[in-house]
Amino acid sequence: MPSRLHARVNGAGPTGCLCALALAAAGWRVDLHDPLGPGALRSRSRAYAFTHSSERLLRRLALWNALAPHMVPFRHLRLRDLALGRGADFGVGDLGEPRAERPDGAVGWIGLHQPLMTALLDRLAADPAVTLHLGEPPAAGRQADPPDLVVAADGPDSPTRASLGVGCWRIPYRQACLTVQVGLRGCGDDEAWELLRPEGPFAVLPLGGGQFQLVWSAPAERCLRRQGLPGSAFLDELAGVLPDDLQPDALLDPPRSFPVALLLARRLHRGRTLLVGESAHRCHPVGGQGLNLCWRDVEVLQRLAERAARGRLAPRRIGAAYAWRRWPDLILTLLATDLLVRVFSNRLVPLLPLRRLALLGLARLSPLRRLVLGVMTDGPLPAARQLDTVR
C-alpha cells in the first residue's frame, strides 16, 4: 500500500486551518506551521460573512454542525445607495430552489473569529493526520522529509510567496476600513445591510441579540480620526451616517482601522508550492467576498488532493491544475468588487443614471436579483468548480 502523501501548510489563520483539515480529509498527512501560538491565533476581534459556498465546504468536511451554533443567519440583505436614496432587498427566495425551501434557509451567515478558530483548532488537534507546529519559529535549512506539496496560506504579506520570488499586482484604495461592534436599534437580527455611500461602502452585519459588526469604509485619514474619538463622540458621528431607522445605542469594542487594497499574485504556484487565500489575492471587503473567495480556493485544492491521493493526479501537477481552475473566479471577483467600489463611492453626475437604473432593475426584476445573489453566493463561475468533481 503506498504511503500517504505529505503536505506542509504555512499559516494557521481560518484559511490555513481549513486547508489543513481539507488535505487531511483527502487522505494526506499534514504539517501545519505558524509562528503564532493558539492563543494569539484565536484572539483576533473580527466577524466574517459566510455564503452558501462556504457552508457547502464546511458540510463536506463535517464541520458545519460544530460551527452552526455560533453562526447568526440573516434572511434579508438590504442594499441602499444613500446618495440616491434608492435600494433593493434580497431575500431567501432570491436564492432559488432548493436553498429557499430549506427550513434553515438563510441568505448567509455571520460568525465571529474566536469561536470559528476554536472549532478549527480543536478539530485539528484531534485529527491524527495533522501535526501542529504553532508558536514555533520557521525551520531553517532543508527538511529531512520534504513534502509532496507546500501550501502558502500565510496572508497578504506572505513570506512564502516572497521566498518563491513571486510578485503581485497591488492597487491600494484611497479608502481604509474601520471595524467595530455596536448595539443598534431599528435593525432586525436577521438583517444585513450594505450601504453604498460616497465616501465608501458600509456593511452592517448581525451578531445576534441586537449586536452588530460594522465595516465602515472611508478615506484613511477619516478612519484614523474616528478610531481615536471618545465613545460618545464616535456614536454621535456614527448616527449621522447611518440611515434614520438605524440608531446606535452602545459601543461594544474599540474601533480598529486597517488599509485596504486589491492584491493578486502574478502566479498561483511555483513548483510544488501553491498560494491559497490572501497569500494569492485580496479584494475590497464590500459584499463580504474575502473569506468566501479564500475558501473556494480550499474547495478546489481538496478535490485535486483527493485525486492525487487516489493516484489519478501526480502531486507535481496539482499546482498547475489548481491555478487553471482558480484564475477565472479570482479575476472576475476582484474586478466585480473593484468596479462596485469605484462606481458607487462618489457623486459623479455621469454615473448617477447608471446607478439609478441598476438599483431600479434589482428592485423590480427577481431574475436579476437571483443572478446577483448567485454571484455573491457561489462566485461568478460556479459551474467551473464542477470540473474538479471526483467521479
pLDDT at position 111: 96
Please give the Cα distance from 182 to 14 (Å, whole number): 24
pLDDT at position 104: 67
HSE (side-chain half, CA atoms, 13 Å) at 317: 9
Please give the Cα distance from 365 to 346 (Å, whole number): 25
Query: What's the CATH number where 366 sits?
Result: 3.50.50.60
Asked if residue 336 has pLDDT above 70, the reply is yes
Q: What is the pLDDT of residues 101-113, one digit of tens each?
A: 565 689 999 999 9
Q: Which domain holds residue 150?
A: 6-72+110-169+262-388
Q: Is 11 left (phi over 0), alpha (psi -120 to 50) or beta?
A: left
Tell me if 161 is assigned to some domain. Answer: yes
Asked if residues 330 and 377 have their Cβ atoms less than 8 Å apart, the reply is no
Confidence label for 384 from pLDDT (cuts 50, 70 and 90): very low
- The count of domains in the chain is 1
Lowest mean pLDDT of 94-98, 209-213, 288-292, name the range.
94-98
pLDDT at position 130: 97
Q: What is the pLDDT of residues 272-283, one digit of tens each?
A: 999 999 999 999
Tell me if 79 is assigned to some domain. Answer: no
Tell me if 45 is assigned to some domain. Answer: yes
Task: Report which secondary-structure segment, H or E, holds 231.
Answer: helix 231-241
Tell me if 221 is assigned to some domain. Answer: no
Please give the Cα distance from 153 to 34 (Å, whole number): 10
Q: What is the pTM of this model?
A: 0.92
Please give the Cα distance from 325 to 218 (Å, whole number): 34
Strands (E) in the chain, as ranges, are 6-10, 29-34, 47-50, 71-74, 76-81, 86-91, 108-112, 130-134, 149-152, 168-185, 191-197, 200-208, 211-219, 247-251, 256-265, 269-270, 273-275, 281-282
Tell me if 181 is assigned to some domain. Answer: no
What order of strands is seen across the sheet that includes strand 71-74? Answer: 47-50, 108-112, 71-74
Confidence label for 386 from pLDDT (cuts 50, 70 and 90): very low
Confidence label for 227 from pLDDT (cuts 50, 70 and 90): very high
Tell me if 131 is assigned to some domain. Answer: yes
Tell me if 52 is assigned to some domain. Answer: yes
Asked if residues 36 and 177 have their Cβ atoms less than 8 Å apart, the reply is no
Tell me if 240 is assigned to some domain. Answer: no
Asked if residue 24 has pLDDT above 60, the reply is yes
